[in-house]
A = this chain, B = another copy of it.
Amino acid sequence: MSLLLVLDLVGTFVFAISGATAGVARRLDLFGILVLSFVAGNVGGIIRDILIGSVPPAAISDWRYLAVSLLAGLITFYWYSAVARLRSPVLVFDAAGLALFAVSGAQKALAFGLNPVMAALLGMLTGVGGGMMRDILVAEIPTVLRADLYAIAALAGAAVVVIGNVLQLPPTATTIIGALLCFGLRLMAIHRGWHLPIAKWPERSSSQKHGPDDETM
């Protein structure tokens, strides 16, 4: 079992915990929680594999992704109080999972011949896709669309891998550097409350909750 696979499964595990926690918080039953575990841990990779034409996706054809996801869901289900107390360690693991998925996703996209810009974006998508689908399933606006540099950190990590590939640098080194950059950016964003700017809002409507209703044109 390669180091990359180990790290990949660790990433799946921590993302699956985030899905299971969302399910418990909404009082879903055990099955719903396991579904959210699998979705949060694997949908990012599944979407990437479908887009690059690598079917069936690894998360479907390799049973270990499923096993790790279900394990995370069961642990969260039976020890929810303990997991809920772990908020800060879980955030660190989550950042680690994001970092790894971003770099491994970018590498896989490059291996399938995508152009560098789209490879970096697919790396980012691999990192954030599971959390987006988790939030869609519980009928919320995905947190990644709001959260502190979450996707930007993934994009930065994936970009390092892609730039290294273009410059023909050794892939192991750029993978490690990319993962560390993503991990560090995300932790800094959490601890310092970094976030991206939001658009200036027309004065006339600043008191409305969702803004004007013309957004859907």
Contact = CB atoms under 8 A, between A and B. Distances in A.
A56 B52 contact: yes
List the number of copies, as a whole number.
3
A163 interface: no
A50 interface: yes
Contacts of A21: 214-215, 217
B216 A18 contact: yes
B145 A212 contact: no
Interface of A: 17-18, 21-33, 35-36, 46, 50-53, 55-57, 60-61, 63, 66, 76-78, 80-81, 84, 87, 90-91, 94, 112, 114-115, 117-118, 121-122, 131-132, 134-146, 151-152, 195-202, 210-212, 214-217
Contact of A29 (B76, B134, B198): B198
Q: Is the interface of A mostly helix, strand, loop or mixed?
A: helix
Nearest to A135: B216
A84 B212 contact: yes
Contacts of A136: 136-137, 139
The residue in A52, A60, A76, A139 that gathers the most chain B C-beta atoms within 10 A of its C-beta is A60
Contacts of A22: 215-216
Contacts of A81: 200, 202
A210 B21 CA distance: 12
Contacts of A23: 145
The residue in A26, A81, A199 that gathers the most chain B C-beta atoms within 10 A of its C-beta is A199
A50 B215 CA distance: 28
Given A24-B211, A52-B55, 8 more contacts: A29-B197, A31-B152, A46-B51, A60-B114, A60-B122, A66-B117, A80-B201, A90-B217
B26 A199 contact: no
